[in-house]
Amino acid sequence: MCYYFYAIASKKDGRIYKGVSQDVDQRLKWHNEGKTKSTKGYRPWQLVYVEKVDDLKEALEKEKYYKSGIGREQLKELIKQWPRSSAE
């Protein structure tokens, strides 16, 4: 079963939320419907980066890394290069 590390950006204030899911589209829908307590107040959200990984352990390691100082900087660069970011 595959997992995805994803990053979404608040259209309200630009903050980036990082998470892990098996179904990124459904997860984004939940964020935008206010079903996720930590992101409810910053709606609407848009998907700005997705990375497919092989298993949950790897996905959680990526999430932890991208939440670290150096990882946050790297993620900012990945978001700039990610195809859907430039289209939205």
pLDDT score, position 1: 84
The model's pLDDT over 33-72, given as tens digits with 9 standing for 90+, comes to 999 999 999 999 999 999 999 999 999 999 999 999 999 9
Q: Mean pLDDT throughout 9-16?
A: 96
Q: Please check the confidence at residue 9 and state whether its pLDDT lies above 70.
A: yes
Distance, in Å, from the CA atom of 23 to the CA atom of 56, rounded to the nearest integer, reads: 13
Homologous superfamily assigned to 3-87:
GIY-YIG endonuclease (3.40.1440.10)
User: In angstroms, how far is CA 70 from the centroid of its own chain?
Assistant: 17
Tokens 């939940």: give the residue: 30
pLDDT score, position 64: 98
**Residue 44 gets which letter from DSSP?**
-
Distance, in Å, from the CA atom of 55 to the CA atom of 31, rounded to the nearest integer, reads: 23
Q: List the domain boundaries for the chain.
A: 3-87
What pTM value is reported for the model?
0.91
